[in-house]
Each structure stands twice: as structure tokens, then as C-alpha cells.
């Protein structure tokens, strides 16, 4: 996996995980920073880190490192989830050598 394609080593690590899922047939594919979702307000958009498709609803992933302000920084993710019930919106963090998922509910 070419890590220079990603803004952080954490995003590159998650892309590697997604590539393994693709090769194993658990997902059909993924894109990095492929979409801009319009949110309420003038010039207000959300750009998810990853878009994943195959095996059910499409999924948008937001990759986060450790931060005390994670809840505040996820406002756009939560609003996007509420506005787009056709997809799943998940925040992922790397904790204790595993990916921990937190799905945003509408």
C-alpha cells in the first residue's frame, strides 16, 4: 500500500486493513476522500476519509487518532449520518492493536 496517498499513517494503516477486506471478499472496494457531502448551511460540506461499498449499505468511515476533542470534531459526521439514512457512518480509532468502531445513528 502506497502510504504517500494518505494524509496520515493512521489513514494508510486503515486503508491497508480495507485492502485485506477487499482481497478476502468482505467488501467490494473503497475510495479515499472521494465524496463531499453537503450539510446544512452555506458552503458547509463533509468529506469522509473512506467510502466502502459491497455487502449491504455503503459505509463512510472517519479515521481518528486519540483526542480529547473527538466528540466535538465528529459533529459533521453525526449530521451527515442523520441526513443520509441510506448509508452507515462510522468513526474508527486504533486502540490496543485493533480498530474500534463507533457508528453514528440518525
d(CA 47, CA 34): 8
Q: Report how far residue 85's alpha carbon sits from residue 83's, in angstroms, rounded to the nearest whole number.
A: 6
| Cα R_g (the chain), whole angstroms | 14
The pLDDT of residue 43 is: 86
pLDDT in tens, 26-73: 999 999 999 999 999 888 889 999 999 987 899 999 998 866 555 656
Distance between CA atoms of 44 and 100, rounded to whole angstroms? 28
Which domains are assigned to the chain?
A: 3-104 (3.40.1350.10)
pTM: 0.88
Q: What is residue 8's predicted lDDT score, i.e. its pLDDT?
A: 92
pLDDT confidence bin for 18, thresholds 50/70/90: very high
8 Å CB contact between 7 and 64: no
Among 3, 9, 18, residue whose Cα is nearest residue 65:
9
Amino acid at each position: 500500500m502506497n502510504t504517500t496517498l494518505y494524509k496520515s499513517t493512521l489513514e494508510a494503516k486503515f486503508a491497508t486493513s480495507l485492502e485485506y477486506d477487499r482481497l478476502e471478499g468482505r467488501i467490494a472496494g473503497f475510495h479515499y476522500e472521494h465524496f463531499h457531502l453537503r450539510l446544512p448551511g452555506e458552503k458547509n460540506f463533509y468529506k469522509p476519509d473512506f467510502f466502502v461499498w459491497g455487502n449491504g449499505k455503503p459505509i463512510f468511515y472517519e479515521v481518528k487518532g486519540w483526542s480529547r476533542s473527538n466528540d466535538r470534531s465528529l459533529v459533521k459526521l453525526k449530521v451527515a449520518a442523520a441526513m443520509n439514512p441510506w448509508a452507515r457512518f462510522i468513526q474508527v480509532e486504533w486502540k490496543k492493536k485493533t480498530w474500534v468502531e463507533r457508528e453514528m445513528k440518525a
